[in-house]
A and B are shown apart, each in its own frame.
Chain A
Amino acid sequence: MRLVLENISHRYGNVEVLEGISLEVKEGEIVAIIGPSGCGKSTLLRLAGGLEKPGGGRILQEGAPPANSLNPLTYIFQDFALLPWRTVRGNIALVLEDHKLASDQRKAIIEDVLSRTSLLDFAHAYPRQLSGGMKQRVAIARALSVRPAIMLMDEPLSALDAQTRALLMEDFVGLWRREQFSALYVTHNLQEAVQLGHRIVVLSRRPGRVREIIEIDIPVEERASRAVELERHSRHLWQLMRDEARAADRELLDAANG
């Protein structure tokens, strides 16, 4: 299944947030979207998964999702969005309970995703007992349990400290190597984008437009060891980003003064 965004525009009141965005996510591909804070990345992701209606343009699913996929477009949120009154197991069960599954089948799925995210020992813990990194692992396990065709990830690492971020990034790379999932990965962090993205879409400051789309031809699993080649891409991206970031920064200051 492919996800195609055609000429998406969106506004809130008279604030233009997105303008003429076209992009696609192919099967097994991670598309990173990077842009300064407030440029409409989260909005774009909400539109992509059908949580909001775009003001203009179309969002298309091309091709059927895999037959066993329970929720083809599945989100991973920055703030984890776990139910505090359910245990780790309960949070995963939540998204399976509305599907017609035999109870042993449901149980097997939960066991499987818990073991794939090394969470088996935490199955009965409540979210308040978990660190941020563990909470995001639970959210990843929950997403995997519905066998998504495309994951929509909104700054999944931004609420975490640097060490945890690095660990989870390794997990993502490992996960991708095993499962070849497709994802739209939103971030404002250049490093995350170059480590994970097959293609990187650079958005301008608000209203968000596509400034450039960059292909990175180094296989995801080799990137950790080919830092020098990656650095070339990082530098180029930073050139693109810094002007936008600086302008976005000044914009906020102007707005505060006015």
Chain B
Amino acid sequence: MPPTDKKQVPFRGGGFAPKKVRFAGLAVFAVILILWELGTRSGFITPLVLPKPSEAFGALVELVRSGLLVKHLSASLVRLIAGWSLGVSLGVALGIAIGLFSLARSGLAPLVSALFPIPKIALLPLFVIWFGIDEGSKIATILFGTLFPTVIATYSGIDNVDRSLIRMGQSFGLSWASIVRKIILPGAMPAILAGFRISASIAIILLVAAEMIGAEYGIGAYILMAGSLMQTDQLLAGVAILSGIGLIAAWGIGRAEAWFLKWR
């Protein structure tokens, strides 16, 4: 047989597996900030449209120096933490009840489905009447806003726990409480933590909205005031603080996931 020409089989199996590239995220931030700064300095972007990032940073520094940052931030964090932790603890408790008991499921699941889609911010005026214009209404808005997604995440997490594991527990004569505590709750934990992620961002959104009514201090109040005075640098400083809170919350939940779900 005559020698035929040889050719290497071309590789065509790569791709479709995005990997983590270090510092790429930071680089994107930096590039945007630099372009933005250059654009505003050269006059290509007028100050009315966007302030310079350096001005926004200046506003932030000013906020720290005047001591107002601590006041705004502490007011906001108290509302956020109180509202969110009440919301998710009630939510997890209700979700567990709906996940475990027929009566709770039949009685409450439809109610949850009916109340979940209501934008809680629309109820803020009612909350003001019920819980007072001060902290009560703001915490209530965050509480109700985070409650329902947590309930739903929790009971669907429980529904999805591997039935064969529950059956295993029963076959070894484990008590009801042991099955719930050692099999059902850990099994639902990934879904519950995913729910926490969502409810944390909902809480921050609702915080700002709630602080726009009748709040003296708070990041939301600060942003509202800056906006009405057209102090766009201050407005951006406020937004940067919110973004920071969001990042820290996400990081905290990430840590919790790494701890609770280390078996994955």
Please name all residues of chain A whose beta carbon is closer than 8 Å to the beta carbon of B183 when the two chains form the complex: 83
Residue of A nearest to B166 (CB): A81
* A94 at the binding interface (Cβ < 8 Å): yes
Within residues 36 to 57 of chain A, which ones have a CB less than 8 A from any CB in chain B? Answer: 49, 51
* A75-B171 in contact given A86-B263, A128-B264 (Cβ < 8 Å): yes
Count residues of chain B with CB under 8 A from any CB of chain A. 20
Please name all residues of chain B whose beta carbon is closer than 8 Å to the beta carbon of A85 when the two chains form the complex: 186-187, 189, 261, 263
* A51-B186 in contact given A79-B164, A97-B178 (Cβ < 8 Å): no
Within residues 171 to 204 of chain A, which ones have a CB less than 8 A from any CB in chain B? Answer: none
B174 touches A83 (CB 8 A): no
Complex: A83 Cα to B162 Cα, angstroms:
10
Complex: A22 Cα to B264 Cα, angstroms:
44
In the complex, which of the residues B165, B172, B187, B261 has the most CB atoms of chain A within 10 Å of its own CB atom? B172
Complex: A70 Cα to B187 Cα, angstroms:
26
Count residues of chain A with CB under 8 A from any CB of chain B. 22
Complex: A146 Cα to B173 Cα, angstroms:
10
Complex: A51 Cα to B167 Cα, angstroms:
8
Q: Is the interface of B mostly helix, strand, loop or mixed?
A: helix
* B42 at the binding interface (Cβ < 8 Å): no
In the complex, what's the smallest C-beta–C-beta distance from A184 to chain B, in angstroms?
13
* A74 at the binding interface (Cβ < 8 Å): yes
Within residues 155 to 187 of chain B, which ones have a CB less than 8 A from any CB in chain A? Answer: 164-165, 167-175, 178, 182-183, 186-187
Please name all residues of chain A whose beta carbon is closer than 8 Å to the beta carbon of B261 when the two chains form the complex: 85
* A218 at the binding interface (Cβ < 8 Å): no
Please name all residues of chain B whose beta carbon is closer than 8 Å to the beta carbon of A73 when the two chains form the complex: 171
Report A's interface with B, CB cutoff 8 A: 49, 51, 70-71, 73-75, 77, 79, 81, 83-86, 94-95, 97-98, 126, 128, 142, 146
Interchain Cβ contacts under 8 Å between A and B, 30 examples: A49-B171, A51-B167, A51-B171, A70-B173, A71-B172, A73-B171, A74-B171, A75-B168, A75-B171, A77-B164, A81-B164, A81-B165, A83-B165, A83-B182, A83-B183, A84-B263, A84-B264, A85-B186, A85-B187, A85-B189, A85-B263, A94-B169, A94-B174, A95-B174, A97-B178, A98-B174, A98-B175, A126-B263, A128-B263, A142-B172
Closest 5 CB pairs of A and B: A81-B168, A85-B263, A95-B172, A75-B171, A85-B186
